[in-house]
A and B are shown apart, each in its own frame.
Chain A
Amino acid sequence: MAFNIYDFTEFTRSIDTGLKNSMSSGWAMFVEYAIIGVIFLLVYAVLGLFLVYAERRVCAFIQNRLGPNRVGPGGILQTVADLIKLLMKELIPIRNADKLLFNIAPFIVIIASFMAIAAIPFAKGLHAIDFNIGVFYVIAVSSLGVVGILLAGWSSNSKYSLIGSMRSGAQIISYELSVGLSLLTIVVFSGTMQLSGIIESQANGWWIFKGHIPAAVAFLVFLIASTAETNRGPFDLAEAESELTAGFHTEYSGIRFAFFFLAEYMNMFIVASIAATVFLGGWMPLHFGTGNAFNHVMDYIPPLVWFAGKTAFVVLIMMWFKWTFPRLRIDQLLTLEWKYLLPVNLVNIVIVAFLVLMGWHF
């Protein structure tokens, strides 16, 4: 079993042949699915915990204070302590609430984000689902989360929750358009929807550099639209603490609240990794042109580190947005989407199509 940190395909193929030799083909598939499922559960949980800690630290530094620094060395175990506290809380049943919908709403949100994280390429060969319509699949699946939010608000039988979830529903459905269209610019550039194909096409430079102005505009639009998609930052009026106490998840307590909370942070991670993959090159190191000394130096850093660094950069920008700007009102939010982002996106796509036809990109 060759464990090469630059290319995991050998490693995964050797595990596959090993399993197929020792048991029948059907069982081998089943065991592989089980292994991947468990790994993703672990990665999801650990990343979620780490992201919550990172957010609290970032927000503290911006606000001239320290952040969690007592539980564990440097405060790393703070989120673990919070998780244990949430697990021990009483699950308060709501009178007159629609019990089935109330109980399955958090699960729908988590399942939607699980399905999206499965399609992300973490490194060369570490790619669980590699559809040939990768980009399309990710956008489609991450928009299933809105069903969970609407169900949560409706079944809570509370006026605040209903207002929060209606606002959130309108917001997410509108911004999916912008997300899809801005990703479409890069699809036009690279000619394929397959995520591994998009990454391979960035071997001579990332699309944000190769595609100059239209790609930069698309990146900016994607950042704004995806912060709105995940109910974060200046678009978080669905859970606006100073207005509606907690919006659509007011009535949830304990582990169900933990699901919503975790799903929000993991959605942020998924969106950031899509941005990193499509615009910034995924696990592809920084290359300028092909076959020169600079590229060789850049190749020394393992692809997993590149991927983690780029995703961390985009996550940091999203956190920066949240802690700087005031909140937008619901009608201003929808105005932003339909009157500003959507026309800019459409014009951008036309320009990109023209550029690709003329060959005026790098």
Chain B
Amino acid sequence: MRSVINYIKEILGGLRTLWAGMRITGKYFVRPGEIVTQKYPENRNELTMFDRFKGEVIMPHDENNQHRCTGCGICQMNCPNGSIEIITRKEMTPEGKEVRVIDKHVYHLGMCTFCGLCVKTCPSDALAFGQDFEKAVFDPSKLTKILNQPGSTIKKDVK
């Protein structure tokens, strides 16, 4: 008789735990207010990322099309896998001295691991992280970007 009672208790106990689990899923089934997904391409206008989001490395230019990069090459030395290439050229200043300025700051987005060392070690704070994250392209050569815009010059007060 004892084994029959245990048997029935087993069945009822099992059913009770199953019902407890079903209550949780049932609770979420009838609450569409708890839906956590967003309809992505339609909500691009309202979508804001956090300020520090690491979307890509950019060189901020101000309204006079000036940047802060001196072409020193410290970011290239610090990049662990060679995603940055600095190409410089020589230029004559109005005083007659020959200085080195940045010609092209080549950034391979396809190889970058977003470690942040280039942004951190730049002595003139020329680089920053941008927030654009839609980077998928069909052509891999589009992933090699030149960070300084054409015709831009360096700001006056950068050492």
Contact = CB atoms under 8 A, between A and B. Distances in A.
A58 B28 CA distance: 11
A324 B21 contact: yes
B18 A65 contact: no
Interface string A188-199: 000000000000
- Listed residue (B11, B24, B29, B34) with the most chain A CB atoms within 10 angstroms of its CB: B29
B29 A58 contact: yes
A325 interface: yes
Given A320-B22, A324-B22, A340-B11, A65 B29 contact: no
A66 interface: yes
B43 interface: no
A308 B18 CA distance: 27
Contact of B18 (A61, A63, A325, A340): A325
Contact of B26 (A66, A69, A320): A320
A11 interface: no
Interface of B: 11, 18, 21-22, 24-26, 28-29, 32, 34-37, 39
27 contacts: A58-B29, A61-B29, A61-B32, A61-B35, A62-B25, A62-B28, A62-B29, A63-B28, A64-B34, A64-B35, A64-B36, A65-B35, A65-B36, A65-B37, A66-B35, A66-B39, A69-B39, A320-B22, A320-B25, A320-B26, A324-B18, A324-B21, A324-B22, A324-B24, A324-B25, A325-B21, A344-B11
A320 B25 CA distance: 8
Interface of A: 58, 61-66, 69, 320-321, 323-325, 340, 344
Contacts of A64: 28, 34-37
Nearest to A321: B22
- Listed residue (B34, B35, B36, B39) with the most chain A CB atoms within 10 angstroms of its CB: B35
A104 B135 CA distance: 48
A62 B37 CA distance: 13
Contacts of B36: 64-65
A64 B36 CA distance: 6
A320 B22 CA distance: 7
Contacts of A325: 18, 21
A66 B36 CA distance: 9
* Closest 10 A/B residue pairs (Cβ): A65-B37, A324-B25, A62-B25, A62-B29, A61-B29, A324-B21, A64-B36, A324-B22, A64-B34, A64-B35
A183 B89 CA distance: 89
A63 B37 CA distance: 10
A323 B21 CA distance: 10
A68 B25 CA distance: 19
A117 B22 CA distance: 30
